[in-house]
Amino acid sequence: MKLTILGCNGPYPSAGGACSGYLLSEGDTQVLIDCGAGVIANLARHIPWEALDAVVLSHLHYDHMSDLLPMQYALQFHPRAVPLPVYAPDSPAAVRALLDAPCYDLRPMEDAQIGEIQFRFHPGRHPVQSFALRAERGGKCFAYTGDTNELEGLDGFLAGANVLLADAGLSAADWAMEKPHLSAERCAHLANRAGCGRLLLTHLNPKYAPEALEAEARAVRPDAEFVQIGRQYEI
Ligand SMILES: [Zn+2]
Ligand SMILES: [Zn+2]
């Protein structure tokens, strides 16, 4: 599988940046994971609109789904044979209702085979219903925490992933158990406990210098790095 970074800020984009959006590809299978502000402009650099097999939304905070609103317009000009499957949580219902459009086929967050990739989901801990995911193909596993803080059972769900993409939305100093995100340092401990092969950090809040958060993570795991728009990772 190949992971292409389309956006990696949260909860708002940096200058020239974009919020969460990750294209996971295998053969002809193209799955967009999250679709925050700025993501579809970067998606169009990589694949035609018609090539997407599905969209998977970890949760319905705007920084993970807002670009699905203008994508409805793009799909009017690039019509598909069938509506685009969109896997999304049930709540908040008012946000989910925004996606109730003829071009989208809304589906629940249940295990799914999407083209050549098998997806599994696990609840996260966040102010709204949120999910972590595992995407597997040919003995390789990509895992993504979605937005979450520490949660019992998450280590086991992420266990053994070849690549873990993790929510590093906070500095170590700003982290607390009641906050909605992990810190970069806690992502590193999580990746170690789960025995993940490689740690990629994301959900960079533009108020932080990425080097500072990376340094906190690298004190635990020297391989930790923030992803960047346009970079691709083999899994
Ligand atoms: Zn977020
Ligand atoms: Zn969120």
Q: What is the pLDDT along the chain (235 residues), one digit of tens a residue?
A: 999 999 999 999 999 999 999 999 999 999 999 999 999 999 999 999 889 999 999 999 999 999 999 999 999 999 999 999 999 999 999 999 999 999 999 999 999 999 999 999 999 999 999 999 999 999 999 999 999 999 999 999 999 999 999 999 999 999 999 999 999 999 999 999 999 999 999 999 999 999 999 999 999 999 999 999 999 999 9
Of 59, 113, 114, nearest to 90 by C-alpha is 59
> Are residues 66 and 95 in contact, defined by beta-carbon separation less than 8 angstroms?
no
CA of 81 to the centre of ligand 2 (A): 32
pTM: 0.98
CA of 61 to the centre of ligand 2 (A): 5
Write down the residue that tokens 């949120």 correspond to: 130
CA of 137 to the centre of ligand 2 (A): 27
Write down the residue that tokens 């990376």 correspond to: 214
Reported as half-sphere exposure (CB side, CA atoms, 13 A), residue 132 has a value of 29
Write down the residue that tokens 């998606």 correspond to: 43
CATH number of 2-234: 3.60.15.10
Residue 139: what residue type? G
Ion ligand 1 neighbours (CB, 5 A) are: 10, 63, 147
For the chain, how many residues are written? Answer: 235
CA of 10 to the centre of ligand 2 (A): 8
Beta strands in the chain (DSSP E): 2-7, 21-26, 29-33, 54-56, 84-87, 104-107, 112-114, 117-123, 131-137, 140-144, 163-167, 198-202, 225-226, 232-234
For the chain, the domains span 2-234
CA of 63 to the centre of ligand 2 (A): 7
